[in-house]
Structure 1
């Protein structure tokens, strides 16, 4: 099941089940957040509750996308109660990439860079037996709900950034129940988006490079994530011509960590189990245009597409002026 949030012609929020590019609107629930909270309270699956709530109204997905009325697949009314985070060095990549990576991390561990040591730790201990704890991954914070862009919305890059490049990833979407437990609402395709030049200057700048916007959606995949997910990442120039294209893979078959292990090492912190909060957590990637020496320019468009998640995520890159206000002592 794929769920999409959007704004209808009257300006009201809606949730629809997407089937063959037609959205079947839910009658009772106007947000996926409310739907998830109700499913938790009623102790039934999200898919079952969504099916029970289907009404007669329908919308053509393409009309909503063209009108710019799509919303992120999960959000919170107060953006400060939505955490956007992620984990890196989690993906093995293609067969060629895997072979090259295993050669890099082989031999004496003391000769490896810190990043390669972290990757090796994941390969060796990121997929523990059920019920056991595996090695913890690299972890980063991106921001709160205000940094999340829906499909067809501009992805804004501050003018102090040295680079703005896509990272095609899968994100897990979660709601924390009143019992303090994390409930996975589903998964969505995403563009995690980072400043790779800043990160390349020194890996300790990773935290700075991640404090950027991101694209998520448009659809929320309800249920389990397939073990193998394939997709394509593209960049279109200002005239709409294809500039760069590359396939990517994800899912546990292509990862050095299990989803359960990544979830454990995020939600083990009490801070992230506050009732009512929303979490959007990116699981990492092995494919990005920056690795092919592509510098994306303002006005160009990112597209991340995977058949698993329905319609593509599309965001134009915009450059915006940063507004720093000098700190004043009281």
Structure 2
């Protein structure tokens, strides 16, 4: 099956454009500069995003692999006002995802006690894929930040100066736009590196919220249409050009304890997440972490996540921000 993909491009003279890719062919869409602009057009016209893209006609052909290598592909969604793009996610959503988390706080439990993580995973396994019209089990949920924390497919992932760790999380992310009537529209899904501080989380699982307040990266392609039921990819870490860790990962509903619909319902049931014009990037979770294999990342390491049917990876170098002490002043 061939999937349509939308990409955002920034030329050397800072001109933005949107690219439509199908198979190995790709061309610029005339008259549109952002995916958000195109999505608003599709909503206004009552068409799908794919139909709106095809309706733009065809501009010049473009080699997306070459543009990726040159660093000219952006994240496939953004907002000119970063405060109107929210990044959130769900955890313990994939078959096998409880194992690593469970280890993090099992030492605090007796041999007969089921940890909170395992209990949440089992509840999702039982009720995370409800029948149509039924309410399913709500997942673990977390907030990552606004659009200022979203980085492109080849930009560095920068952990704060105080971070204990910077670790990859290879997964899929849903991209949504809220219509003028408050309706959430799924524009598509993107390959993602959710990026977290697993050392902080391991210290106390109640610090999960702190560990998630980090940047995140999206691959360059927004996959349109139905989400594939089975996605199989590879997550690797390169150090000085050499692969030091590599492992396959699975996603898609066939490999999950929750349906996408259930995860979406439990996110958008909150009024504050249905504010007209806002964008949402919602990370669906993973079961594969180098941290679970005792890998200690270092500044300069490159995280690379790839998976079909995406044709390009998300590849980001790990960096650490300079210390910036905060002084709170009373007025």
TM over 0.5: yes
Do structure 1's residue 46 and structure 2's residue 49 form an aligned pair?
yes
Q: Deviations over 1:237-292 (max 9, x none)?
A: 0x211111000001111111110000000000000000000000000000010000
What SS is found at the alignment partner of 2:122?
A: helix
Do structure 1's residue 307 and structure 2's residue 308 form an aligned pair?
yes
Match of 1:30 in 2: 33
What SS is found at the alignment partner of 1:58?
A: coil
Following TM superposition, by how much is the alpha carbon of 1:62 offset from its aligned partner in structure 2, in angstroms?
Answer: 2.8
Q: Deviations over 1:77-111 (max 9, x none)?
A: 100000000000000049xx79x99xx9xxxxx82
> What value does the CA root-mean-square deviation take over the aligned residues?
2.0
Match of 2:92 in 1: 89
Contact kept, 8 Å, 1:303 with 1:313, in 2: the verdict is yes
Do structure 1's residue 117 and structure 2's residue 115 form an aligned pair?
no
Segments of 5+ residues of structure 1 without an aligned counterpart are 105-109
Match of 1:140 in 2: 142
Match of 1:291 in 2: 292
- Find 1:78's aligned residue among 72, 77, 81: 81
- Find 2:218's aligned residue among 216, 219, 224: 216
Following TM superposition, by how much is the alpha carbon of 1:60 offset from its aligned partner in structure 2, in angstroms?
Answer: 1.6
Match of 1:107 in 2: none
Contact kept, 8 Å, 1:15 with 1:29, in 2: the verdict is yes
Contact kept, 8 Å, 1:93 with 1:248, in 2: the verdict is no
Q: Spell out the pairing of 1:230-245 with structure 2 (5 A cutoff).
A: 230-237=232-239, 239-245=240-246
Distance 2:18 2:219 in 1: 13
Task: State how many pairs are aligned.
Answer: 321
Contact kept, 8 Å, 2:158 with 2:215, in 1: the verdict is yes
What SS is found at the alignment partner of 2:200?
A: helix
Distance 2:144 2:277 in 1: 20
TM-score, normalisation: structure 1: 0.93
Contact kept, 8 Å, 2:237 with 2:301, in 1: the verdict is yes
Match of 1:199 in 2: 201
Following TM superposition, by how much is the alpha carbon of 1:54 offset from its aligned partner in structure 2, in angstroms?
Answer: 3.0
Following TM superposition, by how much is the alpha carbon of 1:227 offset from its aligned partner in structure 2, in angstroms?
Answer: 0.9
Contact kept, 8 Å, 2:87 with 2:147, in 1: the verdict is yes
Distance 1:242 1:219 in 2: 24
Following TM superposition, by how much is the alpha carbon of 1:21 offset from its aligned partner in structure 2, in angstroms?
Answer: 4.9
Segments of 5+ residues of structure 2 without an aligned counterpart are 107-111
Contact kept, 8 Å, 2:65 with 2:312, in 1: the verdict is no
Contact kept, 8 Å, 1:88 with 1:285, in 2: the verdict is yes
Q: Deviations over 1:14-72 (max 9, x none)?
A: 11012455530000211000011110111101111111113231222133223222111
- Find 2:174's aligned residue among 172, 175, 187: 172
Structure 1 segments (4+ residues) deviating >4 Å: none
